[in-house]
A and B are shown apart, each in its own frame.
Chain A
């Protein structure tokens, strides 16, 4: 059950999108998010849909997998949809008591819901196609200019890498301990809030003990390999800008000009 969480998950595949420079992918994702707010009508969304559709197809990540990422935010989408639909003034389409649905409201509701959906698809595509390690590499590289301002960029990136690296490990550990306690008759699934909270103790204590054990082992292993922070540290797989990255930039520029042109002229 615990393995169903997909947010921030990586989908292993060998596609052109997977191979792109992570720095580029981060920047492009930001550009894409901004572009979504430039769109003012459905023709604009058609451009967005065509572009993101092409990228999804190229990434070889199954559509089903991407849509699964929408599940946890379904409530938020439904909530904004309803609010937009009911709260906008304009030509009344249908009314019942004080509930009024207006033409403009319906338009707004669909518009906002689409924006949210495109937003989630785009940003989940980033994590789906980029290994966490590469993602933090990219972030570290992009944040480098802030180093001069005293921001411990390398340390932050390392912390993020380790945190990301240990999410699956800790999930696995949780799963294991849960099973072991269930084998001893522990019940995590029934009862009221307080009973359930109490039932978590046999899970949380071994988990914390385990986390400290893992942290200690990791620190030892890092020191054994002479880790001493970011000073003078080089990378095995240095990020390199390649031909396909240039192609991606051209694609993004065309996309962005299309969106902007559509906003201005149509």
Chain B
């Protein structure tokens, strides 16, 4: 499983006075097992970029390959792409429409032309993965769930299609801290169990630092940086210049460094920060290791 994007360009309102280049000559490749974060200020072209990855939008120029299939070519079947690439839009709960949660989650697998047994089995699995109890919620109307539960049901609708690539566009936007943490944990467990590639678009630098192992930075439709989180977040000036920032833990470390308490290695996550402080304070240290401490944000 791999994604390869070559010189992607997308133009909105082509030929009109308000024509805009939303994606401008973007190239990257992603290999199996990668967890990729995409950051960029509002309107930097993140959402437009990811909509190309499952064929919802066609590029003005450039090509995309999912494995060996060129999904930008005209004669490729859309179901072939959607089976491989699952895309969870912003506020996915607004796409719920069925009478019961189970039937809504089954919508995707059914469109893939699977047998009824297979559909229900996949829906059950998806509900387990997102942490919605089957007995309790399967027959409830999706419209009477809470905000966080609705979001999880909607994400389950995409996961049930068992995509090799799962793309999530700001999956935690507008959720309370508990629901936020639940969604992140859910994404982690989906990644652990299903493998493949996960792409997370987020404005929360802390989440990106905690979750991903590679970060793409978008600005003005261009891919301006591509690297490991430690590398990307090392340049706070640059990120601030394009309307972004660094994770809270990194900010804290920078403030400490300005006060004369510098760390010898980069601090990105709360785990890093606790390790560093524990070492500096002469404590046992490493108690948390890479474990994320249970801190609400």
Contact = CB atoms under 8 A, between A and B. Distances in A.
Q: Do A and B come from one complex?
A: yes
Interface of A: 3, 11-13, 62, 64-65, 176-177, 179-187, 201-202, 205-206, 209-210
B92 A180 contact: yes
A210 B108 contact: no
A210 B110 CA distance: 25
Contacts of A182: 56, 78, 82
A202 B112 CA distance: 16
Nearest to A173: B94
A201 B86 CA distance: 21
A179 B17 contact: no
Given A13-B17, A186-B111, A181 B95 contact: yes
B89 A176 contact: yes
B82 A185 contact: yes
A185 B89 contact: no
Contacts of A180: 89, 92, 94-95
Interface residues of B, number: 29
Given A3-B13, A12-B18, A209-B143, A185 B161 contact: yes
A59 to B, nearest CB: 13
B97 A205 contact: yes
Nearest to B56: A179
B56 A206 contact: no
23 contacts: A3-B13, A65-B16, A176-B94, A177-B94, A180-B94, A180-B95, A182-B56, A182-B82, A183-B54, A183-B86, A184-B82, A184-B108, A184-B158, A185-B78, A185-B110, A185-B111, A185-B112, A185-B161, A186-B107, A201-B97, A202-B95, A202-B107, A210-B94
A179 B82 contact: no
Nearest to A181: B95
B43 to A, nearest CB: 15
A183 B82 contact: yes
A186 B110 CA distance: 9
Contacts of B16: 65
Contacts of B86: 183
Given A11-B17, A176-B89, A179-B51, A184 B107 contact: yes
A8 to B, nearest CB: 16
A206 B158 contact: no
B96 interface: yes
Nearest to B82: A185
A17 to B, nearest CB: 15
Given A183-B87, A185-B110, A206-B94, 17 more contacts: A12-B17, A179-B51, A179-B56, A180-B94, A182-B82, A183-B56, A183-B158, A184-B82, A184-B95, A184-B111, A185-B78, A185-B82, A185-B111, A185-B112, A187-B78, A201-B97, A206-B97
Nearest to A186: B111
Contacts of B96: 206
B292 interface: no
Interface string B109-152: 01110000000000000000000000000000001000000000
A210 B95 CA distance: 9
Nearest to A64: B15
B245 interface: no
Nearest to B97: A205
B94 A187 contact: no
